[in-house]
Amino acid sequence: MIVSATLPRQDAMRQLLTGIAEDLLAYAALRDLLEQQFQAALRHKASELGAVAEAISTLVDAMQARRALRVALVQRLVGPQGTMMQAFALLKNAAREKMEADWNTLEQAVIACKALSKRNGDLLVEQYSIMQRVLHGEEQIYAPA
């Protein structure tokens, strides 16, 4: 995503901070959706799985768009190789400390959601594998010695 070079730095910082706050809320929603997905998979509720997958996809698309905007805003604020910490360094102490804490919370939410997503994927793969064996039998009942 491209951010105009004429965007005032104050507006770029405001958008950056707003995007982080929105992502904190989005990751909480994603965590809830991933739990719904897991419960639907455990109960073999295909219709619920489809609806939850659509909601997850929509949410992740919005989060991805905010991430791309965040990268562009950081580049606008501190240059092409800029980092979030460099952007936060532009803030006054109290605001910087809050944003660093929010950023750390966001990073932890990402890690937690990745773990939940892996858990869900592992469950779905195992269920698929079992269903394939039930429907088509074992490929090789006796393993060579």
pLDDT of res. 131: 77
Give the whole-angstrom CA distance, residue 22 versus residue 66: 9
pLDDT of res. 127: 86
> Band of the pLDDT at 4, cuts 50, 70, 90?
confident
Question: Nearest-CA neighbor of 96 among 107, 105, 87?
Answer: 87
Give the pLDDT confidence of 48-60 residue by residue, as tens digits. Answer: 999 999 999 999 9
Residue partners of 133: CB distance under 8 A and separation at least 6: none
pLDDT of res. 144: 61
N-term to C-term CA, the chain: 57
Dihedral Cα 44, 46, 47, 49, nearest 10 deg? 90
Average pLDDT over residues 70-92: 94
pLDDT of res. 140: 61
> Band of the pLDDT at 139, cuts 50, 70, 90?
low
Poorest-pLDDT segment among 31-35, 77-81, 130-134, 137-141: 137-141
84 with 91: CB under 8 angstroms?
no
Give the pLDDT confidence of 96-138 residue by residue, as tens digits. Answer: 999 999 999 999 999 999 999 999 999 999 987 877 777 777 6
Give the whole-angstrom CA distance, residue 110 versus residue 104: 10
Mean pLDDT of the chain: 91
